[in-house]
Amino acid sequence: MSKVQIKVIDNGGLRITGDVELVDMEGNAFPSKPAFTLCRCGLSGNLPYCDASHKGKFESCVRAEKVLDDKE
């Protein structure tokens, strides 16, 4: 099994790569893809996927190093 990576994209969604199954609250699987981007702005017309509707309307740049600093 390949390692799954979730990348937080600046001002955008969450890029998922690797062998992962995406399911809804009832456990129904979405069509599988080797890579996809999940919306984290709530503006997508194709939820749960990002459709680039975030462009110019959503700002969020997070870094793991900053999150660790905030908890100290």
Binding site for ligand FES (CB under 6 A): 12-13, 39-41, 43-44, 50-54
State in angstroms the smallest separation of the CB of 1 from ligand FES: 27
State in angstroms the smallest separation of the CB of 38 from ligand FES: 8
Which CB sits closer to ligand FES, 27 or 42?
A: 42
Query: d(Cα 25, Cα 7) in Å, to the nearest integer?
Result: 22
> What are the start-end ranges of the H helices in 5-61?
none
Query: d(Cα 48, Cα 27) in Å, to the nearest integer?
Result: 14
Which CB sits closer to ligand FES, 32 or 46?
A: 46
Which CB sits closer to ligand FES, 16 or 51?
A: 51
Query: d(Cα 40, Cα 43) in Å, to the nearest integer?
Result: 8
